[in-house]
Structure 1
Amino acid sequence: MRVSALLSTAIFTATVLAHGNVTSPPSRQPGAAMQKVCGAPAVAAILADGTGPLENIPSNGAANCNIFMCKGAQFADNQANVQQFTAGEIVNFEVQLPIPHEGPANVSIIDTATNTVVGPPLIEFDSYADENLAVLPLNNTAFSVTMPANLGAKCAVAGECVMQWFWFGTAAVQTYENCVDFVMV
């Protein structure tokens, strides 16, 4: 009986924690550099539930730990995952949404030095992951973006820019994001 109750609690907890995550292209992951900047609890929170909201990631308050920039994940931990794109190239995204929360979402290019959007969003959803729908629209979990031609020399150096998937569940008041490191070639 006791084992059954513990197992049920573990399954329930794992299910409640899961919300959304980019599965392709490869997104930034936590590692040693993030642990040094944000602390072990922040890394542990993401490793325990990579689909959880930013609000569930503890911040140690360090000035250089910005949970709202790629979940605090650092470029130094992700240099092997830098993607190369060209202007006009179509990039396919796959997103896991085990627990939807309706709200706006987008994919934008972000300048990592300033955490600001570069140009217009590559794709926008006014209503995304609506939990009131029996089935989510296919474009919520599989969609494409076209790399812009107007970046000039911007995003030519690895770590300078990311493509950021950003989603805010309005009723849940939860924020989700993943970053894809890339360079324009």
Structure 2
Amino acid sequence: MQGNIMSILAFANTVAAHGYVSSPPARQVGNASVAACGQSVVNNIKADNTSHVEGLPELAANDNGYNSTLCNLWQCRGIQYADNLANVQKYTPGQVVNLKVKLTIPHTGNANVSVVDTRTNKILGKPLISWAEGYADEKAFYGGTTPKGQIDFNVTIPSDLGNACTDGGSCILQWWWYGTGARQSYESCVDFTVTTI
């Protein structure tokens, strides 16, 4: 009996929510994500829209619907741009964008928000904002003193992106958080385009 309880508690810990970008709208799963990543990955993300990336490859490996060419689990957890056409944000160079993050279970670590080129999965330039340590600190969270600047903050769209982000699906604002104790990564992706003035 004790073994069963421990198994249930361990499973509950792996599916509990941790955090996500609540504004602007971040990518959500849909039919394109099912077609690319398989139903198991999509079901996991639907059950917990903050599922950590490290838990997804094992699910994908056992799902015949997973297509590694179409579903990069290490970029937006594989969630497809095609499912999020209605959520593409339109920005201009130098525009200040407010992001809101919902933290539900803390894991102290580091985090950043960056512009990522989805074709290469590389950060364009430097992170727009970063926390080298102390992000989502457990003591602060449970004490009700999480710094507002970790959950409600502004970033500035770079002025030197050129044409890299003019087409929908080419760039994302990626919120990325690594809980060092839990050794788990969490991310949300906001699709956007940049229109030059």
TM-score, structure 1 normalization: 0.89
Instruction: Pick from 63, 70, 89 the counterpart of residue 68 of structure 2.
Output: 63
Question: Per-residue deviation at 1:66?
Answer: 1.2
Question: Per-residue deviation at 1:126?
Answer: 1.1
Q: Residue 3 of structure 2 aligns with which residue?
A: none
- Match of 2:138, as an amino acid? E
Determine whether 1:122 maps to 2:124: no
Instruction: Pick from 77, 83, 87 the counterpart of residue 89 of structure 2.
Output: 83
Counterparts of 1:133-172 in structure 2, within 5 Å, are 133=140, 134=143, 135-172=145-182
Check conservation: 2:15, 2:48, Cα contact below 8 A. Answer: no
- Partners of 1:107 and 1:142 lie apart in 2 by 12
Q: Residue 27 of structure 1 aligns with which residue?
A: 26
Question: Per-residue deviation at 1:105?
Answer: 0.3
Question: Per-residue deviation at 1:55?
Answer: 2.0
Q: Residue 4 of structure 1 aligns with which residue?
A: none
Question: Per-residue deviation at 1:53?
Answer: 1.1
- Partners of 1:53 and 1:144 lie apart in 2 by 24
Q: Residue 106 of structure 2 aligns with which residue?
A: 100
- Partners of 1:171 and 1:14 lie apart in 2 by 14
Check conservation: 2:93, 2:194, Cα contact below 8 A. Answer: yes
- Partners of 2:100 and 2:14 lie apart in 1 by 20
Q: Residue 132 of structure 1 aligns with which residue?
A: 139
Check conservation: 1:20, 1:95, Cα contact below 8 A. Answer: yes
Moved more, 50-59 or 155-164: 50-59
SS in 1 for 2:177: strand
Summarize deviations over 1:90-140 as a string: whole Å, max 9, x none. 100111101111111000011101111111111011121111322211111
Moved more, 57-66 or 82-91: 57-66
- Partners of 2:15 and 2:33 lie apart in 1 by 25
Summarize deviations over 1:55-75 as a string: whole Å, max 9, x none. 233224632221110110011
- Partners of 2:102 and 2:14 lie apart in 1 by 13
- Partners of 1:166 and 1:15 lie apart in 2 by 18
Check conservation: 2:38, 2:67, Cα contact below 8 A. Answer: no
TM-score, structure 2 normalization: 0.84
5+ residue gaps, structure 2, are 1-7
Question: Per-residue deviation at 1:13?
Answer: 3.9
- Match of 2:90, as an amino acid? Q
Determine whether 1:111 maps to 2:112: no
Q: Percent identity?
A: 47
